[in-house]
Amino acid sequence: MTLKAPHAGTLEVICGPMFSGKSEELIRRLRRAKIARQSVAVFKHAFDVERSDSEEVVSHSGIRIDAYAIHNPQEVAQYAREHDICVIGIDEVQFFPQEIIATICALVDSGRRVIVGGLDLDFRGVPFGPMPTLLAIADKITKLRAICTECGQDAHFSQRLVNGHPARFDDPIVMVGAQEAYQARCRGCFSIDRTPNW
Ligand code: ADP
Ligand code: ZN
């Protein structure tokens, strides 16, 4: 039996709560690919404008990389084809609809390296959008931890605060007129009024 050459395509998923360094790690891997003179393109969802300029991915510590803000998954595939891109980064991938999974699989099948960063859990502790599937089909998973703002231990959850108080499970995603904040919290310090219906 002749052994087949290894398939070049891979999917790497970087997950964890807010502030765990997902964007930093994504940017680090993409910068290394650029040093290796590979063709690189970075994408993020067009509505993630709060913490970054529209054409950059910016980490909480200020590390940045140029990125394309896009509205739908097909734009990633189209850009990669038209510009002969080998290494594709997608930040905050949890915000994309389920169609991003087919797009990513097609890119990997065509021999490309796809690296995505995203929240594995939402503020309720529920798996976020396409992340469970992406984690299941990934070649490589990096699950990062932040530092709990309450006790300093490793943090696994993203605590949502509304007007300074822990958000409730059934609070709407957008609360008009409310002061909102997010903190990294460990399992013991994470506060929510009920657990998911597993
Ligand atoms: P993510 O993409 O996971 O939200 P970033 O890569 O944007 O994370 O930011 C990680 C950086 O955030 C850390 O290197 C650190 O400088 C900063 N930071 C702020 N608060 C925290 C925290 N509670 N735990 C860890 N890092 C934090
Ligand atoms: Zn804690």
Encoded amino acid at 5, one letter: A
pLDDT tens digit sequence for 112-169: 999 999 999 999 999 999 999 999 999 999 999 999 999 999 999 999 999 999 999 9
Helical (H) or strand (E) element with 141: strand 140-143
- The residues annotated with a catalytic role in the active site are 92
pLDDT of residue 52: 42
Q: Is 27 in the pocket of ligand 1 (CB under 6 A)?
A: no
Q: Which tokens go with 91?
A: 């930040």
Residue with tokens 């932040």: 146
Mutate to test the pocket of ligand 1, among 14, 20, 52, 123 (most ligand atoms within 8 A of CB): 20
- Tell me whether residue 35 is in a domain: yes
CA 123/CA 48 separation, integer angstroms: 17
Taking CA atoms only, the protein residue closest to ligand 1 atom 26 is 19
Residue 49, pLDDT above cutoff 60: no
Q: Assess contact for 160 and 123: CB atoms under 8 A.
A: yes
- Of the chain, the percentage scoring pLDDT greater than 70 comes to 96
Q: For residue 168, is it within any domain?
A: no
Closest CA to 31 of 64, 1, 60: 64
Percent share of the chain, pLDDT over 90: 87
| Nearest of 6, 18, 64 to residue 158 by alpha carbon | 18
| Structural domain contains residue 153 | no
CATH of the domain at 117: 3.40.50.300
Do the domain assignments include residue 113?
yes
More confident residue, 48 or 76: 76
Categorize the per-residue pLDDT at 175 as very low, low, confident or very high, splitting at 50, 70 and 90. Answer: confident
Residue of the nearest CA to atom 15 in ligand 1? 61
Look at residue 51 in the predicted model and tell me its pLDDT. Answer: 46
Number of domains composing the chain = 1
Distances, alpha carbon 73 to alpha carbons 44, 50, 69, 76, 102, in Å: 10, 20, 11, 6, 9
> Is residue 14 in a domain?
yes
In a domain, 96, yes or no: yes
In this structure, how many other beta carbons lie within 10 angstroms of the beta carbon of residue 124? 19
Taking the C-alpha atoms of residue 184 and residue 159, their distance in angstroms, rounded to an integer, is 6
- CB distance 19 to ligand 1 below 6 Å: yes
Q: What is the pLDDT of residue 14?
A: 98
- With left for phi above 0 and alpha for psi between -120 and 50, is residue 188 left, alpha or beta? alpha
Domain membership of residue 114 (yes or no) is yes
Range of the structural domain that residue 22 is part of: 10-144
Assigned domain for 86 exists: yes
**Structure confidence at residue 54 (pLDDT):** 59
pLDDT value at residue 53: 44
Residue 38: HSE in the Cβ half-sphere, 13 Å Cα cutoff: 18
Please give the structure tokens belonging to residue 114.
């796809």
For 135, residues 6+ apart whose C-beta sits below 8 A from its C-beta are 13, 15, 120, 141
